[in-house]
Amino acid sequence: MEEAFERYVPGVVEAISGYSGGSMIDPVYENHGDHYEVILVVYDPSLTSYETIIQYYWRNVDPFNPFGQFCDFGHSYLPVIFHGNQEERRAAKASKMTLEITDPERFGNGKNLIPIKPVTKFWEAEEYHQNYYLTNEDWYWYYKTACRRVDRLKEVWGEEEYMCFHDDTPSCEIEIVNFEDNAFDDYVPPEVEDVDEDNDDDGDVEETATDAPSSSPYEIISTDLSQTVNEDGEIVDTQINLKNSPDSPKGGGFARLPWEFQAMIIAGSIWLLLLIWWLIRKSRPAGSVTVTTKNPMQIAPGGKV
């Protein structure tokens, strides 16, 4: 998550790895009890807002996985959104309902499993966990690729939307829901009844369905990611990668693997070549080899000349 937030989320100064949400005192990586593994996002409120950060958060998680994230399983890997006050709680809840309203087939009816909780004490993780994508670039790339992180996010959000939120110069538009006076606190999306089939007097089938409500306490608007609304409600140009972190690895290949894996591949290749050479020699019948020298001689069966 550090890489995604520090590279692509507008106004983010730093993402700090740590633990939160549990009851254990002084958690460590080897034993953090019922804590979640989280990041603390430090951002410039003049360049972004909590609402904007949450929009990017969604596009970096799999909200349908009840067991963890990608190839990491267990309670500590479950995604969660923490809020520090009622304003942030409303923003987080509104963002979740935006997904349910704009795409009910995928996110409605409780399919989005990510909870929204009050923030608890944040415990900073060990130093070797910080900036891992920078200090251990090859290992991070290998982990990210082996876990199919990017592939899964594209499956969940679609290729276009994933690239929209992982672009060095974001310029696409997304839909958001603007609620009137935080009406979502009491708002429940209307249930649309299945189509009924009624027979009329002529024996023909008549299809009826429940009408959508004539008015809703929200409006769906489009927003351009090339600009960002900050905490003061001002529209500013989107500024990303404030930490000036380098580009993530763009491709795979042998050179991007850690040296341990390179050594294993080389050793395995040599062993395989030797095995093939030995099998070829073993399969040739005795006496069938012709050796050419300065004075050619035929090696006869049995080794006699």
126 and 268 part of one domain: no
36 and 135 part of one domain: yes
8 and 122 part of one domain: yes
Residue 240, domain member (yes or no): yes
Residue 211, domain member (yes or no): no
46 and 159 part of one domain: yes
252 and 297 part of one domain: no
Residue 108, domain member (yes or no): yes
Q: Provide the mean pLDDT of the chain.
A: 77
pLDDT at 304 over 90: no
252 and 269 part of one domain: no
Distances (CA, A) of 217 to 184, 190, 191: 8, 12, 16
The whole model's pTM is what?
0.70
Residue 192, domain member (yes or no): no
pLDDT at 277 over 50: yes
Residue 184, domain member (yes or no): no
- Rounded to whole angstroms, how far apart are CA atoms 243 and 15? 10
233 and 270 part of one domain: no
- Rounded to whole angstroms, how far apart are CA atoms 149 and 229? 29
Beta bridge partners of 228: 236
The secondary structure of the chain in percent helix, strand, coil, rounded to multiples of 5, reads 35, 20, 45
- Rounded to whole angstroms, how far apart are CA atoms 116 and 90? 10
* 231 class by beta-carbon count within 10 Å (0-12 exposed, 13-18 middle, 19+ buried): middle
Residue 220, domain member (yes or no): no
Select, from the ranges 34-43, 272-281, 286-295, the one with the highest average predicted confidence (pLDDT): 34-43
112 and 239 part of one domain: yes
* Domain CATH code at residue 13: 3.30.1060.10
232 and 297 part of one domain: no
Range of the domain at 149: 2-172+227-256
Residue 201, domain member (yes or no): no
Residue 180, domain member (yes or no): no
High-pLDDT (> 90) share of the chain, %: 32
Residue with tokens 């969604």: 58
231 and 287 part of one domain: no
Q: What is the pLDDT of residue 264?
A: 76
- Rounded to whole angstroms, how far apart are CA atoms 42 and 25? 23
Q: What is the pLDDT of residue 162?
A: 92
29 and 60 part of one domain: yes
34 and 167 part of one domain: yes
> What's the structural domain count of the chain?
2
pLDDT tens digit sequence for 188-224: 554 544 444 444 444 443 333 333 444 556 666 777 7
